[in-house]
Amino acid sequence: MGLIVGIVGGTGAVGRKMIEVIKERNVPIEKLRIFASQKSAGNKLMFNDQEVTVELLTEDVMKENFDYLLFSAGGSVSKKFAPIAAEAGNIVIDNSSQWRMTEGIPLVVPEVNGHILKGYRGIIANPNCSTTQMVMVLSPLHKRYEINRAVVSTYQAVSGSGYKAIDELEKQLVDKNYPNEVYTRRIAGNCIPHIDVFNENGFTKEELKMVHETHKILNDDSIEVNPTAVRVPVVYGHSESLYLEFSKEPDVKEVQELLGNTEGVIVIDNPEQNKYPTVIDAENNDDTYVGRIRQDLFNSKALSLWIVADNLRKGAATNAVQILEIIENLK
């Protein structure tokens, strides 16, 4: 028998990508149900060559029996409906930030800490997209060399802000006078060092997510994470420039080999032939790509490197589906 799976927020960018990833990865589905607000209820989406009618999200339907419910409808929706579904005995995989730092709720990147899900039922949090691709690289390096400090600058695609942001970028590319509504500045031809709201300490909420989520996923609060999150005029794919300081001196070739042998990580690193990863390489792929690995000019215990990943896939939809898969594998 296959799985009964529900997707809450299935008409949004990440929700649609979840449906796509489920099909691509051949998740054994007996029945797929899609839920959304009144605005989208009644619409039809295709899955396995069959039409699926989008249902209205209600408390009663969340009390029904599912093997898994994948949420991608925002924090307020998750706050209201995820506990109802979990109390009914369902496993909830939530893509919002609502439950990530809640004590007792696992925050999971399957290749890094998926083992903690064995025997678990309830709400599981999917990390922030920029955190996910970073910890894919940090985890093996931390185990080998012990990371003391990570300084990261992100270059994040507009798709992380949804369909309206993509539309705004595309229209501004052809009309320089098209107004900015999603962002505080014009995004076309620009870089905006502002993602989410600012905290009193000068860091944005997006940047602080990278700090706290990294600590929780790696189970180590001692790593000093200093992020700057930037929105760039790219449609799909986040890039990150990362500087790491270690307790042990790393060897570049050993790092390349270590990361190259890490599940879900692909190393493209041959600068003599101009080989390094870009978001075009990562687009519509599930892996995290790494390149430009080099030792610091002044500190032998430090490295710099470059990371890219598809923010809608590994940064959101794929990671959620992988959580489902690993729970099935741990049974």
pLDDT in tens, 64-96: 999 999 999 999 999 999 999 999 999 999 999
What does the alpha-carbon distance between residue 313 and residue 17 come to, in Å, rounded to a whole number?
7
Contact 34, 11 (CB under 8 A): yes
Burial class from Cβ neighbours inside 10 Å (0-12, 13-18, 19+) for residue 296 reads: middle
Mean pLDDT computed over every residue of the chain: 97
Cα of 55 vs its chain's centroid, Å: 26
What does the alpha-carbon distance between residue 88 and residue 142 come to, in Å, rounded to a whole number?
38
* 191 counts as catalytic: no
Percent of the chain past pLDDT 70, that is, above it, reads 100
In the chain, the domains with their CATH numbers are 3-126+315-330 (3.40.50.720), 130-311 (3.30.360.10)
pLDDT in tens, 259-276: 999 999 999 999 999 999
pLDDT at 158: 97
pLDDT at 189: 97
pLDDT in tens, 281-314: 999 999 999 999 999 999 999 999 999 999 999 9
Average pLDDT over residues 101-110: 98
| Model confidence at 110: pLDDT above 90 | yes
Contact 275, 201 (CB under 8 A): no
Contact 244, 137 (CB under 8 A): no
What does the alpha-carbon distance between residue 81 and residue 71 come to, in Å, rounded to a whole number?
9
pLDDT at 80: 97
Q: Is the dihedral of CA 96, 97, 100, 102 positive or negative?
A: negative
Average pLDDT over residues 165-174: 97
What does the alpha-carbon distance between residue 97 and residue 75 come to, in Å, rounded to a whole number?
6
**115, 129, 194, 215: which one is catalytic?**
129
pLDDT at 49: 87
This prediction's pTM:
0.95
Query: What secondary structure, in 3-state letters, does 21-78 show?
Result: HHHHCCCCEEEEEEEECCCCCCCEEEECCEEEECEECCHHHHCCCCCEEEECCCHHHH
Q: Cite the DSSP H helix spans in 190-317.
A: 205-218, 252-260, 279-282
pLDDT in tens, 130-154: 999 999 999 999 999 999 999 999 9
pLDDT in tens, 192-242: 999 999 999 999 999 999 999 999 999 999 999 999 999 999 999 999 999
Return the closest-CA partner of residue 94 out of 113, 48, 102.
102
